[in-house]
Amino acid sequence: MLVSSIARFNAIHTMNNASMNMMNAANSFTNLSAFGGEHDLAMLHEKDKRLSLDLASNSLLYKMAYLQEKAAQKRQQQEFKRNLDVTI
């Protein structure tokens, strides 16, 4: 039961980090042309590509952590049910 709890906490921690990184990438998109480089299209393209990859990778990481948390939750419920059946 402890292992399932630790797995759930780790997955939730990863989900929080990924969502924070997605927020940072989205904020960077809005501030992309604010630093004065709006005439350098190659630089804007590179930053756009990098931020898009960051956003996509963090989104994938969030989804994977979500699935890990759900699997750990299911395992924890099964362990709890099994322990309850044993004690009765």
9-49 residue pLDDT tens: 999 999 999 999 999 998 988 877 666 656 777 888 888 89
Q: Could you list the residue range(s) of the whole structural domain that residue 53 is in?
A: 2-87
Residue 53 CB neighbour total at 10 angstroms: 11
Instruction: Give the mean model confidence (pLDDT) for residues 2-7.
Output: 83
Contacts of 48 (CB under 8 A, 6+ apart): 29, 32
Position 3 confidence tier, pLDDT thresholds 50, 70, 90: confident
DSSP string, 40-86: -HHHHHHHHHHHHHHHHHHHHHHHHHHHHHHHHHHHHHHHHHHHHHH
Position 88 confidence tier, pLDDT thresholds 50, 70, 90: low
% of the chain surpassing 90 pLDDT: 51
Name the residue type at position 56. Answer: A
**Distance (Å, whole) CA 9 – CA 21:** 18
* Structural domains of the chain, count: 1
